[in-house]
Amino acid sequence: MELHHLTAATARELFTSRELSPVELLDAVVARTALVEPGVNALSEQMLDEAYGAALISEARFATSDRVQRPLEGIPLLLKEEQPIAGRTSEEGSLTEQGTIADTSHPIVERIYAAGAVVHGRTTTPEFCCAPYTHSKLWGVTRNPWNLDLTPGGSSGGSGAALAAGETLLATGSDIGGSIRIPSSFCGLVGFKPPFGRVPGMAPFNQDTYCADGPMGRSVADVALLQNVIAGPHSSDQASLRPAYVLSTPNAAAAVGMRVALCMNLGDYTVDPAIEANTRIAAEALRSAGVIVEEVDLPWTRKQIVETAWAHFGGIMGPFITEIAGANSDLLMPYTLDFARRAARAASFAEGLVGEAALYEPLGTLLENYDALLCPTLATQGMAADFADPAGLVDVGAEQVNWIESALTVPFNVVGRVPVLAVPSGIAPNGIPTGVQIVGRSYDDATVFTLGEALEKTLGLTTSATWWPSLEAAVSR
């Protein structure tokens, strides 16, 4: 496998054996970025002087064989721009924030630096992270390395595109309606939406039960590695849970005998036939790994889920965007204005809380009898890179729906205390990867990682050297 598509775990092994140095790996990642970035456009900035300084420090540490290395020592990593770094720009993909300088670093940024990662840049987002695709007036259109006409998803689309393209080994994301899991699915990656409070955040969204910062990577083990670095209580976040939850190295053998409920449509979602087929392949892979998989129904409806979610957005994120925009609404993206309008028309926040409880009850009952739920991540094969929301609709088989009705991720933000691991399930006819979600019982993170490892090992997708896109089109673009 080429250096720029190594897993973090493999890179660590090569560093320890001195077959590879952190500087050599950074060289490979930087060269790959220079080659493909003009076509993919996944980075809001590069930080190469700092990165090479960090890589040299890591190289020296590995040269001392008796020194215990930090968890992410020497590993190239990209940060989602939404997670601020003190002294650097914090622009949220918006012309209204252009040139703003952060005075505080996000808690997970502090932890990633302390863990020895080689942070070499930051990744693009849609404006204020309020879209499931990644394009903005500030940073332009970010494209999917698997098919440059299509989006890598959003809002962590820059992180997803960069990982798939080979521009880094690890990346961070955040998720308020699927923003880690959507790009993980469209880009053929693993991503984790931690349960509320597991990872510390920043005000005001650290108080938002829908919102979570989390890890993205090329393997279940890599994502677990980064999750262990960023999880745990923080003095600035009263919602952050203590003690820190430490994941063991994922073990596929531990999945034998686990019980998983397969629900294809979460009630009444329309799902593209190719995605259903790949989800069923994933279910069969778990069965072959010794997992008991049984198909079930949930009594949810898209209408119920969407109305409940908009009531929540109407109480928190919508007013936040409106206040920031102020008199500068002419600078905003159409999808941002539409988000604020929809949020303003939603039911009351109190009605949303009632709806959240009603949605959780059947899931909670189901998970009394099963260790986890398996379902598709998305109903659609893809969306245009420059998707024209709010006017656009998403193709789902023979049906067209609003984007929020194509994201089977949203229910698990509504019931935000459940851990969700997104894992690739195959390739759709349009050349874009598909993915599944493994949804655990509230705060049972370990089980979803065990099942994810079993699925990854059995399907053998991301572990293959031929999995990643070649990107000839991006190079010539």
Catalytically annotated residues: 80, 155, 179
Query: For residue 31, how many other CB atoms are within 10 A of its CB?
Result: 13
- Helix, strand or coil, per DSSP, at residue 473: helix
Q: Are 8 and 25 in contact (CB under 8 A)?
A: no
Separation CA 286–CA 247 (nearest Å):
21
Q: For tokens 């990744």, name the residue.
A: 123
Q: Which residues contact 192 (CB under 8 A, 6 or more apart)?
A: 180, 214, 215, 216, 223, 227, 419, 420, 421, 422, 448
Nearest to 270 by CA among 247, 242, 313, 302: 302
- Considering only the C-alpha atoms of the chain, give the largest distance between any 2 of them, rounded to a whole number of Å: 61
Cis bond before residue 204 (omega within 30° of 0): yes
3-state class (DSSP) for residue 225: helix
Task: Please give the C-alpha separations between residue 144 and each of 31, 158, 343, 381, 465, in angstroms, as whole numbers.
Answer: 19, 9, 29, 12, 19
| DSSP codes joined into one string, 315-383 | HTHHHHHHHHHTT-GGGS-HHHHHHHHHHHTSPPHHHHHHHHHHHHHHHHHHTTT-SEEEEESBSSS--
Burial 294-328 (b: 16+ CB within 10 A, else e): eeeebebebebbbebbbbbbbbbbbebbbeebeee
Positive or negative torsion for Cα 339, 124, 176, 291: positive
Coil, helix or strand at residue 172: strand
Compute the distance between CA of residue 291 and CA of residue 308 in angstroms, rounded to an integer: 33
Q: Count how many Cα atoms sit within 13 Å of the Cα of residue 43 in the half-sphere of its side chain.
A: 24
Rounded distance, CA 418 to CA 191, Å? 14
- List the one residue out of 147, 154, 49, 168 whose CA is nearest residue 93: 154
End-to-end CA distance of the chain: 25
Distance CA 319, CA 341 (A): 10
Residues with Cβ within 8 Å of 13's Cβ and at least 6 positions away in sequence, in order, are: none
What is the distance, to the nearest Å, from the Cα of residue 468 to the centroid of all Cα atoms in its chain? 18
DSSP code for 101? B
